[in-house]
Amino acid sequence: MKKLMTGLAVVAAFAVAAPAMAQTKLKWAHVYETPEPYHTEAVWAAGEIAKRTNNKYQIDVFPASQLGNENQINEGLTLGTVDMIYTGVAFAGSIHKPIAITNAPFILRDYDHWKAYRDSKLFRDIAAGYEQKTKHKVTALTYYGQRHVTANKAINKPEDMKGMKLRVPPAPLFLMFTKSVGANATPIAFAEVYLALQQGTVDGQENPLPTIMAKKFYEVQSHIMLTGHITESLLSIVGSHVWAKLNDSEKKIFEETLRAAAARASDKIRTSEMSLADEFKKLGKTVVTPDREAFRKAAIPLHNDASAGAGWSKAEYDALQALK
């Protein structure tokens, strides 16, 4: 009995000395709808991270601007009110301009060029510049799709957009495209775009086909122009206040999982955008194939023009163009 009591006392002492691992709850904020791959893969990643860290980290994903618009969630990452975000490269570019380089119109040739950039040393080097400024961690790059213009009229060439009130995201680099075609840029938060189109506050907007479908912009726009003017990307970023507290093993888990989620979402978005033009036609929309070469020629002279929003070095630009 004495030995049993002694043994129980030792076990109790260990229980006091080594309490159960505390669970850390994290908030992952983004502006996209729940059916979209960005959200479904974020939820998948949250589950994987919980599993691989023995439930030490519980990540709750907040979609559809629940925790703020894109500028607000970027600010929240710095304030520590959100812990992880998806954000477009143009928004991160307001802090470190080179990271927005792929949002210059027609700077990327195609999806394979985008993938080569995602996997390149150039991307990691540019991301490192953002990380040095913010102390946040860029873990992955997700394909958002080729951006296309919608309106209530046909647009075949850049001149057709002159004077048009075009909704663009409230990030400076999007002005490069509107400047190239002579449109009037109207920055509006993502969650407010449908209403702006419905009420005629703007004449049109531009987004990838999966986004036009998910946000139902086709309900208030009759024409979809396959301009493909920007190949858009989202960054997965972990806030500095979280990243600094992760041990090396946890950092590896977060990076591997978030990259896997990004790759899964990228494949789904690419597959989706390849078939959606036909879906829009079935919905009674007019799908226009414009003169993309004319749009490209209008944009290229602005690629390294600081007054048009360019903020990268000529060396970075040349390195991007050289990627195969």
* pLDDT (tens digit per residue) in 261-290: 999 999 999 999 999 999 999 999 999 999
**Does residue 180 have a pLDDT over 70?**
yes
Cα separation, 76 vs 4, in Å, equals: 54
Mean pLDDT score, 240-251: 98
Query: What's the pLDDT at 236?
Result: 99
Query: What's the pLDDT at 19?
Result: 41
Q: Average pLDDT over the chain, rounded to whole?
A: 94
Coil, strand or helix: which one is 58? strand
CB-based contacts of 223, cutoff 8 Å, min separation 6 = 150, 151, 152, 153, 154, 155, 285, 286, 287, 288
Cα separation, 297 vs 295, in Å, equals: 6
165 bridge partner residues: 184
pLDDT tier, 11 (very low <50, low <70, confident <90, very high otherwise): very low
- The β-bridge relationship of strands 165-168 and 137-151 is unpaired
Q: Which residue has the tokens 């954000």?
A: 87
2, 35 contact by CB (below 8 A): no
DSSP state of 243: H
Query: Which of 187, 165, 167, 113 lies closest to 143 in space, CA to CA?
Result: 113
Query: What secondary structure does DSSP assign to 96-164, as a single string?
Result: SGGGGGGGSTT-S-SHHHHHHHHTSHHHHHHHHHHHHHH--EEEEEEEEEEEEEEESS---SGGGGTT-
pTM check: above 0.85: yes
Q: Which residue has the tokens 């978030």?
A: 258
Cα separation, 45 vs 28, in Å, equals: 11
Cα angle 63, 65, 68 (rounded to 5 degrees) comes to: 130
